[in-house]
Amino acid sequence: MPPRQRTGAQDRGPAGAPVVVTAADLPAVAVVPGDVATSALLGEPDVDALAVPVAPPVEDGDGVEPRTGTAEAAARYGIVLGELADRLRADGSAGSAHTIHLPRAAGDQALPWDGLPPRLVLVGVGQGTPRDLRRAGAALAKATTGLRRVVTTVGAGVGDDGARAFVEGYLLGAYRHPTAATGTPAPGPADALVLLGEHPLPDAARHAAAATWSARALAVTPSSTKTPAWLADQAVAAATAAGLDVDVLGPAELAEHGFGGILAVGGGSASPPRLVVVRYAPPARAGQRHVVVAGKGITFDSGGLAIKPRESMVAMKTDMTGAAVALATVLGAAALGVRHRVTALLPLAENAFGGSSYRPGDVLTVHGGTTVEVLNTDAEGRLVLADALAYAAGELDPDVLVDVATLTGAATLGLGQQHGALFTPDDELAARLVAAGDAAGEPLWRMPLVAEYGSSLDSQVADVKHVADPGTSAGAITAALFLQRFAGGRRWAHLDIAGPARSPKAVHEIPEGATGFGARALLRWLAEL
């Protein structure tokens, strides 16, 4: 096993505020028993809004349908909410929100809503599915920016899964990308959300949202800051604060122990590569498993000598999203108290170009001794993952091995930006990951591992080529087949998140740019494993 060494002072990354967040950094969410009709909470002066749910009409021409607390709010405020909903053209669709600003009385005249929150928010919950409620939460977050406390009954009476989805959506919608000035993501909505009624405590939702916040914030950090050393320092700081064991291997240790893929990809950069290992090890118990999550960590991808067009480079600061998701997953597992051991592997490198760049035609030796013929230096992610997977399979003894990466444009062409591509030969593992993704709002689509395509990776000068022969289609499949060679026969799954890791525009709980896709799905899967 490679030596356990932290990053030394001589090769640390640039200083900066921590980007990784915890549940404590998110907007407060409280649960208060009671109902709209009688709760004294609505009379407290720092409550700026009451949000109530509405659903689409049962038949055309009908008004929106009230849900828990809506009729009681109309009675307590002394107004006809249905008429106001019609004027606002509220239709109850999931992810819609309409704010009613109530006027103050002139002089000494009393109004029915005196002493109550001066805003009513009608939040569309659609059919009330977890997906709809997640969108409702995000809509409420955006509608209450800058307020103090917001009281809501949207999550009441929808069951544990529905309430969790609503709170997750609210916290995900609260996220704002960090700026260069602050360096840390900042919440945008109200200071606190109060769930009125009978609710489970939203701890799981908070930790899942924090994992996504962390992955997003790391992914959008500019590559001028986000060198491999800087990202390793972020991982060390976050893991240490969480009480986890963390090791960082620098260039000398990587060379000594044969991590030829990471070294080759990072060889053209002035910022040397790293391999970060973060371990969460709860007390041993019956049925405990060891899960290793390896994430592609290319802090910027120029394409190397196979340089990308300018337009294709614009989003490449996010090419380390897989590593961010892996780190967020192990931190989230610890915060949630997942009963299984979880190890995150972050192979970090910048794929630059220069006199020391690796070349097409080179033959590399990755960890464990497999030789790899390089055909395209812009297919670098699978090389760093080959090192990480081979190390995990050979030295960490995992029960399950998962890699996650913004790996191929082919996955994006096949599935667009809504679904991640899932590859595994294991039917049970596939079913559980798909179910977890659906529950978390991060859908995965299982793709085939076509064994016959494996011959396109045959090499005359090495054990394997890292990309298929020119003219071969199914690029996402052949990339997965390449990675499968390094899983050592372990239970293994590959998540290609090249599409959903980035969004061209903000929609519902998803921001424009880095989305953090994958962290919540993996945490759901781990919790139910």
pTM (2 d.p.): 0.94
**What are 420-453's pLDDT values in tens digits?**
999 999 999 999 999 999 999 999 999 999 999 9
d(C-alpha 78, C-alpha 240), whole Å? 54
d(C-alpha 245, C-alpha 26), whole Å? 25
At 116 the three-state DSSP class reads: coil
pLDDT of residue 189: 65
Q: How many CA atoms lie within 13 A of 64 on its CB side?
A: 32
pLDDT of residue 257: 96
Beta strand ranges found along 142-273 (DSSP E): 149-152, 192-196, 245-249
| Residue 213, H or E segment | helix 203-220
d(C-alpha 17, C-alpha 416), whole Å? 34
Among residues 382, 502, 520, 524, the one annotated as catalytic is 382
- The amino acid at residue 197 is G
Give the bridge partners for 89, in sequence order. Answer: none
Instruction: Give how far Cα 83 sits from Cα of 62, 90, 121, 284, 528, Å.
Output: 11, 10, 14, 60, 45
Give the bridge partners for 120, in sequence order. Answer: 50, 100
- The amino acid at residue 377 is T
d(C-alpha 520, C-alpha 506), whole Å? 19
d(C-alpha 140, C-alpha 119), whole Å? 12
First to last CA, the chain: 28
Contacts (Cβ under 8 Å, ≥6 apart) of 452: none
- Residue 189 DSSP one-character state: S
Find where tokens 């790996």 sit: 407
16 CB-contact burial (10 Å; exposed 0-12 / middle 13-18 / buried 19+): middle
d(C-alpha 112, C-alpha 108), whole Å? 13
pLDDT of residue 451: 94
d(C-alpha 396, C-alpha 319), whole Å? 26
Find where tokens 């967040």 sit: 21
pLDDT of residue 471: 76
Pick left, alpha or beta for residue 511 (phi over 0 → left; psi -120 to 50 → alpha; otherwise beta): beta
Give the bridge partners for 445, in sequence order. Answer: 421
pLDDT of residue 11: 44
pLDDT of residue 198: 85
**What are 247-285's pLDDT values in tens digits?**
999 999 999 999 999 999 999 999 999 999 999 999 999
pLDDT of residue 187: 54
Q: In 3-state terms, the chain is what percent helix, strand and coil (to 5)?
A: 35, 20, 45
Among residues 148, 176, 308, 446, the one annotated as catalytic is 308
CA 479 to chain centre: 22
Residue 382: active-site member: yes
Residues of the chain with pLDDT below 70 are: 1-17, 61, 180-189
pLDDT of residue 199: 83
* Domains by residue range for the chain, with CATH: 9-20+209-528 (3.40.630.10), 34-197 (3.40.220.10)
d(C-alpha 249, C-alpha 193), whole Å? 43
pLDDT of residue 99: 96
